[in-house]
Amino acid sequence: MTFPVPQVLQANEWLGNDGNWSTWEIAAGTPPQRLNVLPSTSHGEIWLPVPEGCTWLTDNGGCGPSRGVHDFEGVESLGFQTNASSTWSQIGIYELSAGGDLFNTVESGLYGLDTVSVASDARNITDQAIAGIATKDFWLGSMGLSQQASDFAVADEVAESLLNNMKRLNMTPSVSFGLAVGTSYDALQGSLVIGGFDKSLSQDPGISIPTSDNQTRALMVSVQSIVATNTLQGTSSLTDDLPSLTMAIDSGVSQLWLPPAVCDELSELFGLSYDNQTGLYLANDTAREQLLGLSPEVTFTLSANATSNETVSIVLPYRAFDLMAGVAIFNETTRYFPIRRATNDTLYVLGRTFLQEAYLVVDWERANFTVSQLSHQRPANAEIVPILPVSHQPPKPTGLSAGAIAGIVVGIVVVLAAVIAGAYFFWWRKRRSKRAESVDEGDEKSRPISPYPQDKKTEGPAELGADTTLLTEADSGQVHELHQEQMPHQLMSTQVYELPAEMVERELDAGPKPRKD
């Protein structure tokens, strides 16, 4: 059975108002409107900014492009225009399926179904759930990579996730993906493989972890430790006084949402100041210059759970935290450190900042995912590995295994050896028998002539002369009584089996001994 090849999607533009992030281009509506969006692992929908998200700006020129919106019909667009799409089917305004709990607000979107295209072959996916967003918390749109369907209870409508739709249309072999979000500080654009992964982007095997039943927080990991090195205060372990942290990996948000105690310690190590208005940590220019010379690193050691001995370490350089924030957050571009204070332990998140140095592979069909350190050594050609559907049964091997072949070879050798040994045994036995017969013939010539034939039995007792041999059972070879003078001759008639072959040959070559009368 053949399967479609994975869809390899390359990021093509750096965007963001809270960092410089890789984005992927998609098309939505009829005629198609093009937008650049982020990948999101916490939902399975398409989120697109709508024009209402820019109207609050006094001068909204450039607002649309900053949100990833391309010109539409030759004019700069402020967002996805639902009324300009002939295939838009509106459902209504509903709460967004993910993210609202982080910002402690109700984030809503205008939901509907429309045609989208995300793959390189530009095939259309019809009836895809789309949420038009105007919130400032999600400045860019997103492409959902979760398998979670959109369930609109009020409208009695259920829309399949993007990945499920792609598999249904035979665009990908399975509901799975491999993701590298990109690193702007190394100018490495992101990579997204739907239905497989790029093996060359993984520096090590990483660890495999079961997915969670919580659809919006399905990629849960246990953070065993967080260690910062080469900071303004040297090396420090940030989690010694805390139990292991259970955190969700979520590419849909930018920052790391951490316990307040960890944020406070990071603030001291990196010379940060907390901004109450935005909830962000701002970087001090003087401290930043010093840190750039020290080249600090923050290492996250992850495992599947708190008791697992199988771990992976993801190392983030200081440059991964050296970000800029602008429109809709600050009045002017401001340097900040991408950590946030989580209000409770159910909101701990490793966002895109963390994923800059991690490669993520998710197999929704087998309910597991893999996290590994990202490789920055990009080969000339990607090493794409497809993830086949869980229903696929590998074909039974038609040939023999190496072990079976080796066993057969050994068996053949043993049989040949046995045949050769048997042939040699029969040849040797026949040769020995011939030699023994030759010896017997020589002895017969030197044996005295008996007055009694050797093939007849003597019937009844008989009186024999003193020089006569008594042979009652000649055929059986049993000698009951021998005359003293005849004993040597009779013994010589017995076959000699223990003589070496060369001695027998010498006896035969000598010929029969002359008879003495």
Q: Are residues 13 and 87 both part of a single domain?
A: yes
Q: What sections of 70-191 are H helices per DSSP? A: 100-103, 162-168
For all residues of the chain together, what is the average pLDDT? 83
- Does pLDDT of 271 surpass 90? yes
The answer to whether residue 118 sits within a structural domain is yes
pLDDT above 90 coverage of the chain, percent: 66
Written as six digits, the tokens of 414 are 């043993």
Distances from the Cα of 211 to the Cα of 214, 216, 444, angstroms: 9, 11, 97
Q: Where are the alpha helices (DSSP H) in 40-122?
A: 63-66, 100-103
Q: Does 381 lie in the same domain as 480? A: no
Claim to verify: residue 211 and residue 83 sit in the same structural domain: yes
CA–CA gap between residue 324 and residue 310 (Å, rounded): 35
Q: Show Cβ contacts of residue 417 under 8 Å, excluding neighbours closer than 6 positions.
A: none
* Whether 439 and 375 share a structural domain: no
Residue 152 sits in the same domain as residue 279? yes
Q: Looking at the structure, tell me whether residues 204 and 63 fall in a common domain.
A: yes
My answer on whether 443 and 367 are in the same domain is no
Both structure tokens of 47? 């989120």
- Pairwise CA distance, residues 108 & 490, whole Å: 122
Q: Who's near 2: CB < 8 A, 6+ residues apart? A: none
Question: What number is the average pLDDT over the span 324-353?
Answer: 95
Q: In 3D, which of 56, 80, 58 has the Cα closest to residue 67?
A: 80
Question: In CATH, what number is assigned to the domain containing residue 85?
Answer: 2.40.70.10
Mean pLDDT of the region 506-513 = 44
Looking at residue 394, what is its pLDDT?
Answer: 67
Structure tokens at 361: 């592979």
Domain span at residue 486 reads 435-448+469-517
The pLDDT of residue 205: 92
- Average pLDDT score over residue span 173-190: 97
Higher pLDDT, 74 or 402: 74
Whether residues 55 and 153 fall in one domain: yes
Give a yes or no: residue 36 inside a domain. yes
Q: How many domains does the chain have?
A: 2
What digits encode the pLDDT tens for the residues 455-485?
A: 444 444 333 343 433 333 334 444 344 344 4
Is 234 within a domain? yes
Residue percentage of the chain with pLDDT more than 70: 75
pLDDT tens per residue, range 420-437: 666 655 555 665 565 555
H-assigned helices in 205-351 = 260-270, 285-294
- At residue 391, the pLDDT reads 86
Confidence band, pLDDT 50/70/90 cuts, at residue 402: low
| CB-based contact 323:334 (threshold 8 Å) | no
Which residue has tokens 């009652």? 472
Domain ends where: 346, 366, 386?
386
Domain membership of residue 392 (yes or no) is no
Q: What pLDDT sits at residue 263?
A: 97
Start-to-end C-alpha separation, the chain: 98
Task: Please compute the mean of the pLDDT values over residues 395-415 and round it to a whole number.
Answer: 57
Quick one: which of 299, 311, 305 has its CA closest to 246?
305
Q: Is residue 514 part of a domain?
A: yes
Mark whether 342 and 442 lie in a shared domain: no
Each residue of 281-299: pLDDT tens digit?
999 999 999 999 999 999 9
Q: Return the bridge partners of 364, or none.
A: none
- The answer to whether residues 442 and 351 belong to one domain is no
* Residue 219 is assigned to a structural domain of this protein: yes
- CA-to-CA distance for 517 and 515, rounded, in angstroms? 6
> Residue 162, CB half-sphere, CA atoms under 13 Å: how many?
30
pLDDT reading at 452 higher than 70 = no
Please indicate, yes or no, if residue 425 is contained in any of the structural domains: no
Is residue 348 situated within a structural domain? yes
Q: Kindly state whether residues 224 and 320 are assigned to the same domain.
A: yes
Q: Residues 371, 250: one domain?
A: yes
Query: Is the pLDDT at 16 greater than 50, yes or no?
Result: yes
